Structure 1
């Protein structure tokens, strides 16, 4: 029985490793090709669409001013731009900061929400902002984001130039990447995710997932979908599924860049990633038993990807790790023997190769220092995700069984030093 479990776990692990390697090849090819799309956009003069930028903000006085300054610096006609900051029941100075900028800049608008229908999560705030918006294109930024001046221009023009795209997704970079070891690890994870999961899936399948920030979506689509699902903790993943089911695809366009702050302490990271994992589990089970109702069969790829990642892949790792530890103290008479160790070593080398390839696609990221961080990452940060997914799964099971309301955790922000 133990041997069978080990065979199953190794099969699950290697299926995902090969799939990720396949995606990374696609990500590399996309990194070589996307500039041609950018040149095509810049070569033709077009009438730009009106744009509404939604910025949900709950107790964001530490970061919101830098975000508003970046909105002012955007290279986009201000007569076609409105920035709506949804001050969602904040108890700090967020509201007064936004009001001060709104008084000075007509394209910046403050929307203040109050209880009882406020402060319950990002989806609710976005829906309120959407109702007040007027733009043909809706763009979302988190309150800690500072997009580069051309980011909105690329998102809006890219969406206008591609009728089949329901949404277009930009790239995000970590503004505090060098703060400490944790932010270095998150930076490497972020870059790898974008060039592996986003760029790779776009290149091979014409699919990617809407992130929580730096994306544009057509107003007409949000109207058809009645906005965001307010029960979803990962409102971005859930929205992606519904956009695909309408028959559109979501384009990954890394020319549109924003800079965002990442957790600087393990506690904040754990709570934020737990919310992400729980939100993705919610999406998996929301649609897994409704597959027969989905019109676009391509959506199956995404649902099974998340199912495999959050359940089967992590289960395989957990089983193999458990067998390895038990076998140290008690002879389980494993028949696979030395082969299992060879597979573990090769798997480690494949992980390092994939991450280093992703770093090579960004300027000054594939360094000797980052190489050693990647080695450290495999044995620490990556393994911590196993515990996090197990913990998140338990919380989701409890929520469903006891019909609990999912509570939104607002990520703590940190003061940035210049």
Structure 2
């Protein structure tokens, strides 16, 4: 006779163990990506690149960018590129500051190379602003390639020619560059962003180059061949908050390759406060929610035309897109196993966090080598990227009893049974609690005490949980049908000149 209680217990343990295993998916995906990075030395596009300097039209969308647009134009005119082969079109989105006057002065300074295009009705979003400029440059045959950039970014002198060489291959439709955080007066948050960009760009995008499928052209550094631009409709998508990602996907779905050029460096000013970061990344995350649904027939469907449907690319995409859900599932699994008094709880907890710790050490060390300058300036942020509390949890996984018994014993202390249960529940649920703590940090940051407390809090909870919390917020905003607003990130002209 079957013992149904035993069967039910076994089923519950199995289901909860699977929940815990979900938490390992993003960790393993990150490890897989960074294991691919050394392969980029032999599997890349450089063999098909060649010196190529086409006529490039540069479109710069600008709304109230008077503080930064003048310097940006000067730096564009100083690029290592043939004279007469660059034209800068600043699309003024009904600015109310001195942007028109600054651009018009630069147009007089650089006749025939700088143009001011005015939109009298603005505020519709970046894509509409870009399309105004694209319609203009497509009216004649002068332009062979189009560069889309942001008003505040600074291109290093050799960056554009490093990008255009990839367009010598007709199979390449678009190229993007490495956006590096370039503020003069970095604070703790901008240093976290700087290291994040090392991980997500010169790290992950190198791996995507190896796979032959790129997730996104950086919004401030999109170089398109004219042919590709015309094939995707001669315009930028206006139905999504992730217009740059839509353009990236549409390019590849039409059989053209998108290439990341890690040695083309573009400096940008990134948010210095959690609220500004949240606003910027929420727009990106909501765009990715929209895009994931839009291309639902692409995922995990290998194709001869493109690599977006490959298993590897789908794993990379969804390990980030579903990260909050996977973390919550992992916490539920661990807590459930603990409450069932299953010995499996400690085993899977240790396995999960040991794998996470090994991946963390490997990725941070490799990332620091990919951009040594950022590695040196952001070494604290690299160490504490997952947060000091997560590092303590990792130590707990590696050395059972160290935190709960051995260290207290050195001071003649001993945890009560109740305290041990509370501690165990805390470490088992930390990956989910950290997102809640990140949400709290966002609200604290807008208060007067938050100016002093937030840096300490972020170092404790980590920068990664902030990104996870923003992704979760994007789910909520999309489910509620919140208005799609293209919020401009405030810039102050602090980019290194």
- Same fold, TM-score > 0.5, yes or no: yes
Q: Distance in 1 between matches of 2:325 and 2:174?
A: 33
Count of residue pairs the alignment pairs up: 402
Q: How does 1:16-95 map to 2 (within 5 A)?
A: 16-30=26-40, 41=50, 48-95=53-100
Counterpart pick for 1:122 among 126, 129, 132: 126
- Contact kept? 1:177, 1:187, Cα under 8 Å: no
Match of 1:14 in 2: 24
Calculate the TM-score normalised by the size of structure 1: 0.88
Q: Which runs of 5+ in 2 are unaligned?
A: 1-10, 388-461
Q: Distance in 1 between matches of 2:250 and 2:60?
A: 22
SS state of the match for residue 78, structure 1? coil
TM-superposed CA distance for 1:415, in Å, is: 4.0
TM-superposed CA distance for 1:25, in Å, is: 2.4
- The one-character-per-residue Cα deviations of 1:358-397 (angstroms, maximum 9, x if unpaired) are 1211233434x74432232202211122221111111111
Match of 2:237 in 1: 229
Match of 1:309 in 2: 320
SS state of the match for residue 210, structure 1? coil
TM-superposed CA distance for 1:335, in Å, is: 4.1
Larger mean CA deviation between 231-240 and 345-354 belongs to 345-354
Match of 2:286 in 1: 278
- The one-character-per-residue Cα deviations of 1:256-315 (angstroms, maximum 9, x if unpaired) are 2111111011110000000010011111011115778x983522245664334212x321
Q: Distance in 1 between matches of 2:212 and 2:160?
A: 25
- Contact kept? 1:318, 1:386, Cα under 8 Å: no
Q: Are the structure 2 counterparts of residues 340 and 81 from structure 1 closer, same or farther at C-alpha, using a change threshold of 3 Å?
A: same
Q: Distance in 2 between matches of 1:300 and 1:356?
A: 30
Counterpart pick for 1:215 among 222, 228, 232: 222
- Contact kept? 2:64, 2:99, Cα under 8 Å: yes
> Is 1:111 aligned to residue 117 of structure 2?
yes
SS state of the match for residue 353, structure 1? helix
Calculate the TM-score normalised by the size of structure 2: 0.74
Q: Which runs of 5+ in 1 are unaligned?
A: none
Q: Distance in 2 between matches of 1:135 and 1:287?
A: 31
- Contact kept? 1:199, 1:208, Cα under 8 Å: no
Q: Are the structure 2 counterparts of residues 417 and 371 from structure 1 closer, same or farther at C-alpha, using a change threshold of 3 Å?
A: closer
- Contact kept? 1:24, 1:354, Cα under 8 Å: yes
Mark the structure with the bigger radius of gyration.
2
Q: Distance in 1 between matches of 2:210 and 2:192?
A: 26
> Is 1:395 aligned to residue 477 of structure 2?
yes
Match of 1:349 in 2: 358
- The one-character-per-residue Cα deviations of 1:33-76 (angstroms, maximum 9, x if unpaired) are 769659x735xxx5x31110111111222222221121121111
Q: Are the structure 2 counterparts of residues 33 and 176 from structure 1 closer, same or farther at C-alpha, using a change threshold of 3 Å?
A: farther
Q: Are the structure 2 counterparts of residues 189 and 305 from structure 1 closer, same or farther at C-alpha, using a change threshold of 3 Å?
A: same
